[in-house]
Amino acid sequence: MNISANHIKKITLFLLLSTVLFTNCSKEKRSDKAAEKMRQFVIDIGEYARETDPNFILIPQNGEELGLVDMDKSYGVNSVYLNAIDGFGVEEIHYNGDYSPDDYRIENLRVLAQEKPVLVSEYITNNQNEANAYELNSAENWLSFVRTSGNYDYNEIPDTIPNENNNDIIELSDAKNYLYLISTENYSDKGDFLDAIAATNYDVVLIDLFFGDEELTGSDINRIKQKANGGQRLVISYISIGSAEKYRYYWKRGWGHHHPLFLKRKYDGYPDEFWVKFWRPQWQEIIYGNDESYIKKILNAGFDGAYLDNIEAFYFLYYKS
């Protein structure tokens, strides 16, 4: 049987398209399964932490679609997940350097914000956009933190505190503003770092559990739980649950790509981080559930809650090429 060259081209194109469609479909299914595992991971962290502190606050950063049924706002909110968390943290909603609103995420957040507070971290390269960035989030009734080009890595305390007040902040819903300060590179020692925070009137402070390699203590945290004007505030600890960081106490010599098996792939742009297979028991034991776990250390230090970063690992592990 003679087959024309044109027919062969059509068959080849069909096979190529079928392969692409099958691969994308397969990745999407795996991503959906991973999303459910991340949702359960967050729920389990909350249950563990609240055995010690019933008022422990959980704020997942990014991956906010987990708050929606089937990750689609058309189906409403996922009440089980929302009952496990106290708010949503998100980055670069209106500004990612320049003005570039993410309409898809904005629409999702408008649905979720009816249930929980939203904390937005914007990034601007032109300081003249600072006021607009605050205004855009204020119009949505979202808390906002605007960082400039020199503060990309969350290493500075801005001069501007939107909606400054002397209220006592007991719950996240009481807050009108927040400070996001997880890098300590601008401070010579722990005392200077804590003094700088204590001198502010931010309602919520997001910081790391560590100053350099030194774990913060209960007395350290108590030192900054009161605003300079006398009001009580919340102090929340940053923790990445979707990526492993080489500079953390849990990292062991010899670890690398796929060793241990929960280390999935390198985190582009962050040479000291790996995306993790967060559903693996070995990784989850690092995060919560025992006296040596990260969450237990946060509880021991007296933080009011945890800010869970890299929730979107469920997507990046499988869907991004």
- Residue 12 domain-assigned? no
The Cα–Cα gap between 41 and 286 comes to 12
Which residues form the domain of 230? 33-316
In 46-200, beta strands by DSSP E? 57-60, 88-99, 118-124, 143-147, 178-181
The Cα–Cα gap between 88 and 82 comes to 10
- Residue 11 domain-assigned? no
- Residue 321 domain-assigned? no
Domain tally, the chain: 1
Strands 118-124 and 88-99: parallel
Q: 133 exposed, middle or buried (CB, 10 Å; 0-12, 13-18, 19+)?
A: buried
Its sign, for the CA torsion 243, 246, 250, 252, is positive
What does the pLDDT read at residue 9? 47
CATH code for position 260 = 3.20.20
What does the pLDDT read at residue 29? 62
Q: 203 exposed, middle or buried (CB, 10 Å; 0-12, 13-18, 19+)?
A: buried
Pair of tokens at residue 240:
């990445």
Please write the tens of the pLDDT for every residue from 125-172.
999 999 999 999 999 999 999 999 899 999 999 988 999 999 999 999
What are the two backbone dihedrals, phi and then psi, of residue 186, each rounded to the nearest 5 degrees? -85, 0
- Residue 175 domain-assigned? yes
Residues of the chain with pLDDT > 70, as a percent, come to 89
- Residue 6 domain-assigned? no
Residue written as tokens 């300081």?
127
Please write the tens of the pLDDT for every residue from 73-89.
999 999 999 999 999 99
The Cα–Cα gap between 91 and 192 comes to 28
Please write the tens of the pLDDT for every residue from 178-226.
999 999 999 999 999 999 999 999 999 999 999 999 999 999 999 999 9
The Cα–Cα gap between 158 and 172 comes to 21
CA distances to 180, 190, 218, 319 from 214, rounded to whole Å, are 19, 9, 13, 37
What does the pLDDT read at residue 79? 97
Residue written as tokens 């990309």?
152
What does the pLDDT read at residue 258? 79
- Residue 24 domain-assigned? no
Q: Which residues pair with 120 in a beta bridge?
A: 90, 144
Neighbours of 36 (CB within 10 A): 13
Looking at residues 24-37, what average pLDDT do you find?
A: 70
- Residue 182 domain-assigned? yes
What does the pLDDT read at residue 321? 41
- Residue 15 domain-assigned? no
